[in-house]
Chains A and B, each alone.
Chain A
């Protein structure tokens, strides 16, 4: 109370003493601040300057010479144009469908793998399976898509050899719009399930072994233990991961889709990020594509806040 009145009475003196305090602090840790200068510059230039660049979304066109402040402001016209365009529903729909399929088919895969691994008794077998199933994670996306492409070759490509077994005609897999989603999701599972199982294995190792002992006494078999101890034990992890995944539902793997997509598959493969790339970088509609990107970023950010809020409620786990 006393301090507060002092503050109110002598603002001038407080100000100087605060400045003195900051100066003292800066001097005391001067080497730390010197260290942080490149870090701060890095974030200002490469993270915050592009955020300022987002103002372009409300302008008619971008001029590198004039900069943003001189540009002509057009309010939300770019957004309206996007909402009214033919592509709007297509890319929103594709982004969401691809995400939802990935969740439905891709999300359970690492959990199942972790559960299988958890039941292995021989340690060497477990670590062998782990080593091999983690391997695809380190293959670059260019190689994965390159493999998909060579496997789809009309002559002697693996996928068409398999089709041949069923007396089906060879097809150009990467040019078939109905094949894009299955190929994308299956190859994602192949590449990512092993690696993603690590976090669930960690959760599994946190389950109290006494629970298993006790249930054995009660005559529970391995299957019963799986249902009543193991699964409930890792449920919190599963819930958090699922909520986070749902928070990223408007995100898609830009580089993989860009590599996989061909013009005939745009109907199923064109998503927000690939659209932004084509319209912005390739066609030079900078302000329009910035608007589309900003819209996507805002939706993502809100979804993430929502996901974090829910996860805090459900699990008292928060992202930050």
Chain B
């Protein structure tokens, strides 16, 4: 079909606006990257928009990599992500399998009590005091156990488990399989894609978690990368920047930019490949709402 002049104008304006959206989404990251490799003195004086780097150095990255806190932060985060997500998936699968069994006595009551917690809770202070009384303050457990189940994700998983044919489960039972076997051998293998979605969601949540460690962790050797970054980027303690006597003041800004790049790179690098899983999850969540 032939397009009119008006249609062409419409398309052109639309394309320009969307190109602008790309530019706005990308620009801050580009700015941060170019700043991180720029010459420190030029960076402070140039007053430029950093579409290209001003000068060149990689010292900032050397500083970041030689910063022990960033290493330990990274390792801690890795531990919290792996252990935390493992516990999350196990607990959420248990909950989702159990409560997707329609013939379960007490199912409705349990569902009501669980759903209620999405809308009302004890809040920050009673929860904090509870964790304190449980002796979890300043321990790795605080990063893993208190958030073991995200109720919203549980509901998504339960909906997905409900679509596994009951006849399949019944016949497995007749063959003498118990529910653990059914969950791990039949239901989970049939729900691989939802499992992948849940894994990614939980993992990103752990990676980005900042409030839990801020509230419950006290010792530096337990700090995840987000807290280390807060100290470098926001609290701006030069000590945590690793900027000793040998580092000039000027490179401090470069170090901040390099820290942002290094902490954000892992997610940004894998994101394009797993984007569809995330979108799938967002859509299931939306349908649920």
Report the nearest A residue to B18, measured CB to CB: A129
Chain B residues closer than 8 Å to A222, beta-carbon distance: 6-7, 10
- Digitize A43-78: 1 where CB-to-B-CB distance is under 8 Å, 0 elsewhere: 101111111111010000010100000000000000
Query: Which of the 9-residue segments A88-96, A99-107, A120-128 touches chain B?
Result: A120-128
Report the nearest A residue to B270, measured CB to CB: A138
CA distance A68 to B134 in the complex (A): 15
State whether B7 touches A54 (Cβ < 8 A). no
Q: Confirm or deny: B286 has a beta carbon within 8 angstroms of a beta carbon on chain A.
A: yes
- Digitize B1-36: 1 where CB-to-A-CB distance is under 8 Å, 0 elsewhere: 000101100110011011001101110110110010
User: In the complex, how many residues of chain B place their beta carbon closer than 8 angstroms to a beta carbon of chain A?
Assistant: 96
Query: Which of the 9-residue segments A7-15, A25-33, A79-87, A228-236 touches chain B?
Result: A25-33
CA distance A43 to B111 in the complex (A): 11
- Digitize B123-153: 1 where CB-to-A-CB distance is under 8 Å, 0 elsewhere: 1111111101110000000000110110000
Report the nearest A residue to B133, measured CB to CB: A64
Chain A residues closer than 8 Å to B286, beta-carbon distance: 198-199, 202
State whether A141 touches B210 (Cβ < 8 A). yes
When A and B form their complex, what is the total count of cross-chain residue pairs whose Cβ atoms lie within 8 Å? 259
State whether A156 touches B47 (Cβ < 8 A). yes
Known contacts A139-B264, A142-B226; decide if A320 and B15 are in contact (CB<8 Å): no
Known contacts A31-B179, A136-B25; decide if A125 and B124 are in contact (CB<8 Å): no
State whether A43 touches B43 (Cβ < 8 A). no
State whether A297 touches B282 (Cβ < 8 A). no
CA distance A296 to B236 in the complex (A): 33
Known contacts A31-B180, A50-B121; decide if A116 and B14 are in contact (CB<8 Å): yes
Which residue from B17, B94, B210, B259 sits with its C-beta under 8 Å from A255?
B210
User: In the complex, how many residues of chain A place their beta carbon closer than 8 angstroms to a beta carbon of chain B?
Assistant: 91
State whether A276 touches B125 (Cβ < 8 A). yes
Q: How far is the CB of B81 from chain A (nearest CB, A)?
A: 13
Report the nearest A residue to B209, measured CB to CB: A140
Chain A residues closer than 8 Å to B46, beta-carbon distance: 156
Chain B residues closer than 8 Å to A47, beta-carbon distance: 117, 121-122
State whether A199 touches B91 (Cβ < 8 A). no
State whether A54 touches B123 (Cβ < 8 A). yes
Known contacts A140-B210, A147-B32, A244-B289; decide if A54 and B122 are in contact (CB<8 Å): yes
Known contacts A117-B18, A131-B275; decide if A290 and B123 are in contact (CB<8 Å): yes
Within 164-200 of B, Cβ neighbours of A (below 8 Å) are at: 178-180, 183
State whether A143 touches B233 (Cβ < 8 A). yes
CA distance A277 to B134 in the complex (A): 20
Chain B residues closer than 8 Å to A147, beta-carbon distance: 28, 32, 260
State whether A133 touches B22 (Cβ < 8 A). yes
Chain B residues closer than 8 Å to A138, beta-carbon distance: 204, 208, 267-268, 271
State whether A155 touches B234 (Cβ < 8 A). no
CA distance A29 to B268 in the complex (A): 45
Q: Confirm or deny: A179 has a beta carbon within 8 angstroms of a beta carbon on chain B.
A: no
Which residue from B28, B91, B128 sits with its C-beta under 8 Å from A190?
B28
Within 172-203 of A, Cβ neighbours of B (below 8 Å) are at: 190, 194-195, 198-199, 202
CA distance A255 to B124 in the complex (A): 12
Q: How far is the CB of B214 from chain A (nearest CB, A)?
A: 8
CA distance A253 to B31 in the complex (A): 26
Within 131-159 of A, Cβ neighbours of B (below 8 Å) are at: 131-136, 138-143, 145-147, 149-151, 153, 155-156, 158
Chain A residues closer than 8 Å to B232, beta-carbon distance: 146
Spell out B's residues near A (CB within 8 Å). Answer: 4, 6-7, 10-11, 14-15, 17-18, 21-22, 24-26, 28-29, 31-32, 35, 43-50, 91, 94-95, 97-99, 101, 103-105, 110, 113-115, 117, 119-130, 132-134, 145-146, 148-149, 178-180, 183, 204, 207-208, 210-211, 215, 226, 229-230, 232-234, 236, 253, 256-257, 259-260, 263-264, 267-268, 271-272, 275, 278-279, 282-283, 286, 289
Closest 9 CB pairs of A and B: A50-B122, A53-B126, A146-B233, A31-B179, A293-B123, A25-B105, A140-B208, A50-B126, A47-B117
Spell out A's residues near B (CB within 8 Å). Answer: 22, 25-26, 29, 31-33, 35-36, 38-40, 42-43, 45-54, 56, 62, 64, 113, 116-117, 119-121, 125, 128-129, 131-136, 138-143, 145-147, 149-151, 153, 155-156, 158, 161, 164, 190, 194-195, 198-199, 202, 221-223, 240, 244, 254-255, 259, 273, 276-277, 280-281, 286, 289-290, 293-294, 296-297, 300-301, 304, 319-320
